[in-house]
Amino acid sequence: MSERRLAGRTALVFGGGGGPEGVNNGQAAAMTYARHGAKVAVVDVSAEAANRTADAVRDEGGTALAITADVTVSEQVEAAVREATGELGPVDVLHNNVGVTVLGGPIELSLEQWRRAFALNVDGVFLACKHVLPSMLERGRGAIVNVSSLAALRHVGYEYPAYMSAKAAVNQATVSLALTYADRGIRANTVAPGFIDTPLVRKQLSSQAESIDELLAARNAASPTGTMGTPWDVANASLFLASDEAAYVNGVCLPVDGGLAMSCS
């Protein structure tokens, strides 16, 4: 593309690994950043997944580094940031994509399951910011994009209060980041995907319907547009928030949902 909105910058994507089933939100974000000129560090708990995305970026002529780390372990996150910075330069864009759906109401859920939802969805954001922010503050610039969910804003039909609560915490953590560092050149925003057709959705929500086809049909029908979005829709929203075109956009939660957030149904 002639328009390279992140040329010369380094993007660090946590949860950016790709799976064999198809492109997911993290992989789409990493590839979109790379297509717009960024050098991309792809972090995933699976080395195979991280390498799959890095290889896809390189296949398109981009620069990518695959890193393995568990976002719930501070030492591993710190090491990942250090490796990305050492190989690609200081982080300009921090993209936090790691998340997991934990189904069940408060009676069915164990305390361990509740805490796991927060560890993966919220702790990872905290630790990534903890270890990236010092460099951003030193340089006086940076953009943070946290991936939340429409489930943080409204009920979307599934019984998962742990997930809803954790993603709501991501939203408010982002607001705090945005206002704390606004006068120091750092912006923080969230993207809130609605019904997006991803491999992870098919895997984690398969129990919510008799078949995958039934699950997908219900999700398509629930969207005001009549069809789910794609990981590329989420990635393009993230690209905007990461770019200078969003220089005065700070602390927002941007739904990518075909209008579902505004629906009464």
Catalytic positions, please? 163
Reduced to 3 states (helix: H, G, I; strand: E, B; else coil), residue 253 is strand
Pair 197, 28: CB distance under 8 Å: no
- Residues forming beta bridges with residue 254, ordered by sequence position: 191
CA–CA gap between residue 28 and residue 34 (Å, rounded): 10
Rounded to 5 degrees, what are φ and ψ at 147?
-90, 115
Rg (CA), the chain: 17
Pair 196, 149: CB distance under 8 Å: no
Reduced to 3 states (helix: H, G, I; strand: E, B; else coil), residue 231 is helix
CA–CA gap between residue 128 and residue 71 (Å, rounded): 8
CA–CA gap between residue 164 and residue 43 (Å, rounded): 24
Reduced to 3 states (helix: H, G, I; strand: E, B; else coil), residue 147 is strand
Residue environment code for 208-239, b if the CB has 16+ CB neighbours within 10 A, otherwise e: beeeeeebbeebeebbeeeebbbbebbbebbb
